[in-house]
Amino acid sequence: MILVLVIVCILSTIISSSPSEVTNSQQFPKAIIIGVKKCGTRALLKFLSVHPAIAASSQEVHFFDTPKNFRLGSDWYRNQMPIATTNQYVTIEKTPHYFIDRHTPKRLAHLLPDVKLILILRDPVIRAISDYVQIKSRHEYYPTFDEFISMKNFTRWTPIKIGCYAIYLRRWLKYFPLERIHFVDGENLIQRPWEELQHVQKFLNISNDIRQENFYFNSNKRGFPCIKQPNGCLGSSKGRQHPFISDITRAKLKNLYSTCNRQFKQLAQINFPWL
């Protein structure tokens, strides 16, 4: 009699639970935002996370670009993914450092040969300034941006080097076909995020559930877009005021990036307005 009661209780629990609650699981990502740092990767992931088909990781996993993590193996990586319901058939993570890491393309292609890659980019001059602002916020005393650019070997400075996107894209194209990489215009994501989200949703082969009516603009964040949900705006670190940059510095960087932009445009076969 006791055994019968136990069985009845178990069956009642299963029946009363929704299918998604019964079949929750952690899956390898079907898509990864691989970069670029300071181009809007966190905003893009936040916006995508409201889609009912997407299970988005809440942290940067750094599996493929960090030796100690990579040695933990594929099971460890899968266990870092969010628990997805049956309706969330697209698990996605973002680690911006993947894009510039030498080892990540080969490692990623070996483990997840069919994964879709998302790459968001901004005008490299603006990206470099944004990177500088973040670094400077961690130091009490720090040289000005103009002072860095006036240095002899300023092109070796990481915030500047990252902006030559073509260098890194060539590595990825050795392991992934171009049609497996979707390019997001980070400048347009700030101005008209719903347009970029429409393209991403199509790339991921999911319904177009994230539309213009899902967004509003926050005047306290330099007009950055927010998604209509609890905590729908990015944190306090976003929207920092950029410093004054001299015309000489801007011209120097524009000249530096002109060749890189032209090469990237040809490799990626895209035509963003700022390229």
Q: Is 242 annotated as a binding residue?
A: yes
Q: 63-67, 118-122, 149-153: which range is least confident on average?
A: 149-153
164's tokens: 């030559």
How would you list the strands of the sheet with 54-56, edge to edge?
54-56, 90-94, 31-35, 116-121, 181-185
Rg (CA), the chain: 22
pLDDT band at 9 (very low <50, low <70, confident <90, very high): very low
Report the pLDDT value the prediction gives residue 15, as an integer from 0 to 100: 36
Q: What three-state secondary structure class fits 41?
A: helix
Q: Is 202 annotated as a binding residue?
A: no
Nearest to 43 by CA among 193, 180, 198, 165: 193
DSSP string computed for 140-156: SS---HHHHHTSTTGGG
Q: Is 35 annotated as a binding residue?
A: no
Report the pLDDT value the prediction gives residue 171, as an integer from 0 to 100: 98
Report the pLDDT value the prediction gives residue 230, as an integer from 0 to 100: 86
Distance CA 56, CA 50 (A): 9
Asked whether residue 6 carries a pLDDT value surpassing 60, the answer given is no
Q: Is 241 annotated as a binding residue?
A: yes
Cβ–Cβ under 8 Å, residues 165 and 260: yes
Provide the mean pLDDT of the chain: 90
Asked whether residue 5 carries a pLDDT value surpassing 90, the answer given is no
pLDDT digits (tens, 9 = 90+) for 209-240: 999 999 999 877 567 899 998 888 887 666 67
- Omega before 36 within 30 of 0, i.e. cis: yes
pLDDT digits (tens, 9 = 90+) for 174-208: 999 999 999 999 999 999 999 999 999 999 999 99
Nearest to 55 by CA among 21, 33, 30: 30
Cβ–Cβ under 8 Å, residues 137 and 242: no
Asked whether residue 13 carries a pLDDT value surpassing 60, the answer given is no
Q: From the candidates 30, 37, 38, 106, which is the catalytic residue?
A: 38
Residue ranges of domains in the chain, CATH in brackets = 19-268 (3.40.50.300)
pLDDT digits (tens, 9 = 90+) for 29-60: 999 999 999 999 999 999 999 999 999 999 99
Asked whether residue 133 carries a pLDDT value surpassing 90, the answer given is yes
Alpha carbon 42 to its chain centroid, in Å, reads 6
Catalytic, 221? Answer no
Report the pLDDT value the prediction gives residue 19, as an integer from 0 to 100: 37
Q: Is 239 annotated as a binding residue?
A: yes
More confident residue, 79 or 232: 79
Distance CA 229, CA 50 (A): 8
Mean pLDDT for 25-29 is 96
Distance CA 57, CA 80 (A): 8
Nearest to 153 by CA among 247, 245, 256: 256
